Amino acid sequence: MSLQPPHGYTLEEYFALEQVSEIRYEYWQGEVFAMSGASPAHGQIQINLITLLRSQLRGRPGRLFSSDMRLKVPSRPPYRYPDLSALCGEPVFELIGGLEVLINPTLIVEILSPTTEAFDRGDKFTHYKSIPSFREYLLIAQHRPHVGQYIKQNDTVWSYQEFNDLSAALYVSALDCRLVLEELFQDVVFPATSRPQ
C-alpha cells in the first residue's frame, strides 16, 4: 500500500488561501503553516513593545507594524509575518499575489517561543538578511527577562549583545529609541524557575 504524499501548494494556491482566510499562513517550500495564537506572555510583551516604541516615535517619521503585516523576504519568497517590523521614514509596499507587502523594514522583532526559537535564531534570521534595508534584529524571550540584539555592521558582520536584567536598557539604533527591560516585561508572569532573584 502506498501513502499519498502531502499536498504541495503552489504560490498561486497560497495567495488564494491568504486572500480569503481570516487565519494568517506562512508559505515554506510548498508547505503552508497556520500562524498559531500567541501565549499571554507573548501578547503582553508585544503590547508593551509597541506602546514603548510608539510613545518615543510620536512626532517623528517612524512607523511600526504588528504581526499582521506581511514582510517581503527576497531569499525565501514570498513573505513572512514577524512579530513586529519598523522603520524610520516612509514605508514602501509591493503587491505580491494581490496582497500588500512591506519591503523596507530596518527593525525586525521576534518574540521567541520553545517551538520557534531555533528557527527564529537560525534560518529565519538568515533569510531576513536578504532584505536590503534590514539592519537590526531583536529576539525577545517570553519565559524570562532576556533580549538578544543583532546590529548590522556591514554586509557580512552583525554585532550581538544580550540583555537579561530587568534594570538593563538597550538602545534600538534603527529607530533611535531606548527600551528598559522592566517596562518591556511589565505584567509578564514568568515561570517560577526563571524568575530573577
Nearest to residue 101, comparing CAs of 86, 75, 79? Answer: 79
Judge residue 94's burial from the number of C-beta atoms within 10 Å of its C-beta, 0-12 exposed, 13-18 middle, 19 or more buried. Answer: middle
Residue with C-alpha cell 521567541? Answer: 112
Question: Which parts of the chain sit beneath pLDDT 70?
Answer: 1-7, 36-37, 193-197
**Measured distance CA(154)–CA(14) in Å, rounded:** 34
**Residue 13: predicted pLDDT:** 87
Contacts 24+ apart (CB under 8 A), 120-126: 121/148, 124/80, 125/150, 126/75
Q: Which of the 8 DSSP states describes residue 140?
A: E
Q: How many CB atoms lie within 10 A of CB 163?
A: 20
Torsion of CA 55, 56, 60, 62, to 10 degrees: -90
Task: Tell me the pLDDT of the chain averaged across its residues.
Answer: 90
CA dist 132 to 104, 110, 122, Å? 7, 19, 18
The predicted structure's pLDDT at residue 10: 86
Per domain, the residue ranges of the chain are 1-35, 38-194
* pLDDT tens profile 103-116: 999 999 999 988 77
**Which of 132, 138, 177, 129 minimizes the C-alpha distance to 157?**
129
pLDDT value at position 131? 97
Residue 27: predicted pLDDT: 83
Distance in angstroms (rounded) separating the CA atoms of residues 175 and 120: 21
- Tell me what pLDDT residue 193 has: 67
pLDDT of residue 4: 39
The separation between the first and the last C-alpha atoms of the chain, rounded to the nearest angstrom, is: 58
pLDDT at 165: 94
> What dihedral do alpha carbons 53, 112, 129, 127 form, nearest 10°?
-140
Q: Report in angstroms the alpha-carbon separations of 54 from 104, 134, 174.
A: 18, 19, 14
Please give the CATH architecture assigned to the domain spanning 38-194.
Answer: Alpha-Beta Complex (3.90)
Question: What is the tens place of the pLDDT at every residue in 11-47?
Answer: 888 888 888 887 778 887 788 877 766 789 999 999 9
